[in-house]
Amino acid sequence: MRPGSGSPKETELRLLLVRGGLPEPELNGDVYGPDGTFIGRGDLLYRQFKVLVEYDGSQHADDRRQFHRDVDRLEAFAFDEWSIVRVLKEHMNSDRADIVTRVRKALIARGWRP
């Protein structure tokens, strides 16, 4: 697991994206709005393009308090005009190429060029 990663699955996701030809994301970075207000901490950030990739393991659905916090946090990112790509445990088990495609599309829509 890489320093700064919040979990082995986040590391696995980061490696998937980088091996898929995408730039190296920032891990678990704090994000602040234009007025300096804390928005939240993102799992994998492409700060320059305002693209947030979030890994949601099963605890995010099973724990209602965690789910509520996630909804509020992701809404705050959306209000600050971040593009959010959510990756579930099930995606990691079956749709790995699609994950890279989804993140690539989000980055390109925000100005990244391969």
Residue 59 lies in a domain: yes
Residue 77 lies in a domain: yes
CATH of the domain at 68: 3.40.960
Residue 33 lies in a domain: yes
Per-residue pLDDT of the chain (114 residues; tens, 9 = 90+): 455 555 778 999 999 999 999 999 999 999 999 999 999 999 999 999 999 999 987 554 566 787 778 788 889 899 999 999 999 988 988 889 999 999 999 999 999 999
Residue 1 lies in a domain: no
How many domains, the chain? 1
Q: How many C-beta neighbours within 10 Å does residue 11 have?
A: 16
Residue 97 lies in a domain: yes
Q: What is the dihedral of CA 29, 97, 75, 31, to 10 degrees?
A: 10
Residue range of the domain that includes 98: 8-109
